[in-house]
Amino acid sequence: MKAAAVNPLDLLILTASIKLIENYSMPVTLGYDAAARKQGKEYRFLFVHSDGAQLQKITKIVERNHIIPAIDSHVFSLSQANDALRLVAKGAVNGKVIIKL
């Protein structure tokens, strides 16, 4: 797959957005970060508040540059949420884990 050229201004906006999210979010680790480190992986779980204007900017950048997140093959129902968390804690995922509502 060919890498898309990224507009430097988009990168600047995206970087600023990420810093804003990091500055105003509260990390929750529950020991998962230590388990991830043991496997040489990084684990992040954040609570953030939505900012419509910021989300619109990020959406435009993602769509313009055809950024596609990695999604794990496992899909869980809401009643299987604990199973999904256990899978993530084990580090046995290859992307975002989907919980269907």
Among the listed residues 63, 66, 101, the one whose alpha carbon sits nearest the alpha carbon of residue 84: 101
pLDDT band at residue 88 under the 50/70/90 scheme = confident
pLDDT band at residue 11 under the 50/70/90 scheme = low
Percent of the chain at pLDDT > 90 equals: 11
Question: Tokens 């998962």 identify what position?
Answer: 32
Judge whether residue 77 has pLDDT over 90.
yes
pLDDT band at residue 21 under the 50/70/90 scheme = low
The token duo for 93 is 């995922």
End-to-end CA distance of the chain: 32
Q: How far is CA 54 from CA 21, 33, 47, 48, 98, in A?
A: 10, 27, 16, 12, 24
Among the listed residues 30, 69, 70, the one whose alpha carbon sits nearest the alpha carbon of residue 46: 30
